[in-house]
Amino acid sequence: MPDLDFAVESVEIVPYAVAPLLNFQVRITDADNAGRVESVLLDCQIRLETVRRSYSDEEKAHLFDLFGEPERWGQTLKSMLWTHANVIVPPFSGTTTVALPVPCSFDFNVAATKYFAGLETGEAPLVFLFSGTCFYRDADGFLQCQRISWEKEAEFRLPVAVWRELIEHYYPNSAWLNLRRDVFERLRAYKTGHFLPTWEQTLEELLK
């Protein structure tokens, strides 16, 4: 019976996806070397371990919306969910490496986006919590399946520069802001009523 262990080895930007996408290279090892693994339906929850790094004064100011005053960070700075991802692992024996695709939102209503955007340098500490189903053949050649232990996890430190490069590649010199429908209608009415040609000019006028 396979006993799968996981390690996240590296990350790379996928340059031509529909939306911002990172591929994390995950090494999977059968610790018991039980023979051929036919397939793995791998699920992963990725969490931000926010307490595992230090923050500059500028970063603390950027992250005020998430964690409040720095004096209270001892109570407010906690692990937070980033996203879920999944991949189908093809047959292997012993060990293999698979690309785990992770879509990245640039919606500033999403807490993880606020967190990444608030970091200036360094790395974002991540933990990958693995689950799913492993398919293998027993000694008699019959196909079997087993659930992956909920204890299986791996740590990885995502360079902030990689996230910034990803977002700049897909949204150069841009940012996304998701508005409630009634707020957008009021903004559109202001834009039309003041004969403003672009949304940037509309917001600049309001900011005055």
Give the HSE-up count for residue 68: Cα atoms under 13 Å, Cβ half-sphere: 8
Nearest to 87, CA basis, from 55, 123, 130, 58 = 130
Cβ distance 160 to 124 under 8 Å?
Answer: yes
Q: Cα–Cα distance between 179 and 189 in angstroms, integer?
A: 14
Burial of 102 (0-12, 13-18, 19+ CB in 10 A): buried
Q: Which pLDDT score is estimated for 52?
A: 95
Domain residue ranges of the chain, discontinuous segments joined by +: 4-177, 179-208
Q: Which pLDDT score is estimated for 176?
A: 77
Count of residues in the chain? 208
Q: Which pLDDT score is estimated for 26?
A: 97
Q: Cα–Cα distance between 186 and 201 in angstroms, integer?
A: 15
Q: Which pLDDT score is estimated for 142?
A: 83
Q: What is the CATH architecture assignment of 4-177?
A: Sandwich (2.60)
pLDDT 10s per residue in the chain (208 long)? 788 999 999 999 999 999 999 999 999 998 877 678 899 999 999 999 999 999 999 999 999 989 999 999 999 999 999 999 999 999 998 899 999 999 998 888 889 999 999 999 999 999 999 999 999 888 778 888 999 988 899 999 999 999 999 999 999 988 777 888 999 899 999 888 989 888 888 999 998 8
Cβ distance 149 to 110 under 8 Å?
Answer: no
